């Protein structure tokens, strides 16, 4: 099992790093308990070459390999494709994700058009000094869902300006263990095989939108066409085991909403 941990902060010893460190410890314990070989790689977004998106649309129109911005994003995506799951963590900056976390999301905008992470699992973490974490987690969740990830869960932590490691463990060890267990179990038991109502609905909306507005021959259109996602019988990015009634209701909701947004 391979897991990537993305720390969306420039502080390598900040609250976000310390909290994700606890989760990583418990992920290793889960792996040992299940006799699973686990590899965890931590990537500090603030310590790599990650540049701003220029909004040129070249990744949409010609493909991400033609992007004029030469940074580490494509190598990061290759790591994500090779991993079973990601733990994506960000501190709260002005009631939302950090700037570097937003840049990371923006640089993968082409994946919103061409989802590539179906069958993979994400867990989301937000840390804050004292304000809410909900909007930050919503931003992370919307991004990874659009990329194709199954979201196993999310956790927000109020930690003050900079919490000592021993205090972090004393206050949040149990919650970190719970997050690790939920994340690990989602990968281990392939929870992505039962996509949520929301995910099924969004797929239907995207399916309608690309079928209606997509231009045949473009890279986006080919991505959907080659995978058979335009087929009316295709209900998700990959074969799944969601209950038929749930699928039918989600697709009906998608049709209704899609008439207004697709």
Domain boundaries, the chain: 2-193, 197-261
> At which residue do the structure tokens 């990830």 appear?
149
Answer for the pair 225, 190: CB distance below 8 angstroms, yes or no.
no
d(CA 208, CA 202): 10
d(CA 83, CA 77): 10
Nearest to 111 by CA among 85, 76, 87, 135: 76
The alpha carbon of 32 is separated from its chain's Cα centroid by a whole number of angstroms, namely 25
Nearest to 108 by CA among 138, 137, 143, 156: 143
pLDDT score of 202: 93
d(CA 146, CA 136): 16
CB atoms within 10 A of CB 198: 14
The model carries a pTM of 0.93
Using DSSP, state whether 52 is helix, strand or coil: coil
Answer for the pair 88, 122: CB distance below 8 angstroms, yes or no.
yes
d(CA 204, CA 30): 35
Can you name the CATH fold of 2-193?
Rossmann fold (3.40.50)
DSSP H or E run through 43: strand 39-44
Nearest to 106 by CA among 78, 143, 72: 143
Residues of the chain with pLDDT under 70: 262
pLDDT score of 62: 93
Answer for the pair 44, 83: CB distance below 8 angstroms, yes or no.
no
pLDDT score of 230: 95
* SS3 readout for 106-164: HHCHHHHHCCCCCCCEEEEEEEECCCCCHHHHHHHHHHHHHHCCEEEEEEEEECCCCCC
pLDDT score of 262: 63
d(CA 195, CA 204): 13
d(CA 80, CA 147): 11
Nearest to 172 by CA among 122, 121, 123, 125: 125
């Amino acid at each position: 099992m391979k897991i990537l941990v993305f720390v969306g902060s420039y502080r390598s010893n900040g609250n976000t790093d310390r909290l994700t460190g606890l989760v990583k410890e418990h992920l290793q314990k889960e792996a040992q308990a299940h006799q699973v070989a686990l590899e965890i790689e931590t990537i500090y977004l603030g310590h790599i070459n990650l540049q701003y998106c220029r909004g040129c649309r070249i990744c949409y129109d010609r493909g991400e390999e033609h992007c004029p911005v030469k940074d580490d994003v494509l190598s990061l995506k290759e790591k994500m494709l090779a991993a079973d799951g990601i733990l994506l963590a960000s501190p709260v900056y002005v009631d939302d994700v950090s700037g570097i976390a937003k840049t990371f999301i923006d640089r993968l905008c082409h994946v919103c058009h061409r989802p590539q992470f179906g069958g993979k699992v994400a867990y989301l973490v937000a840390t804050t000094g004292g304000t809410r974490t909900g909007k930050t987690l919503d931003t992370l969740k919307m991004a990874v869902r659009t990329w194709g990830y199954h979201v196993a869960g999310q956790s927000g932590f109020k930690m003050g300006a900079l919490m000592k490691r021993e205090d972090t463990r004393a206050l949040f060890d149990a919650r970190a263990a719970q997050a690790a267990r939920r994340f690990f179990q989602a990968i281990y038991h392939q929870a992505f095989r039962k996509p949520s109502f929301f995910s099924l609905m969004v797929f239907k909306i995207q399916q309608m939108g690309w079928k209606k507005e997509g231009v045949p021959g473009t890279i986006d259109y080919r991505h959907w066409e080659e995978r058979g996602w335009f087929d009316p019988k295709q209900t998700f990015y990959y074969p799944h085991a969601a209950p038929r009634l749930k699928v039918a209701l989600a697709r009906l909701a998608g049709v209704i909403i899609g008439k207004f947004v697709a």
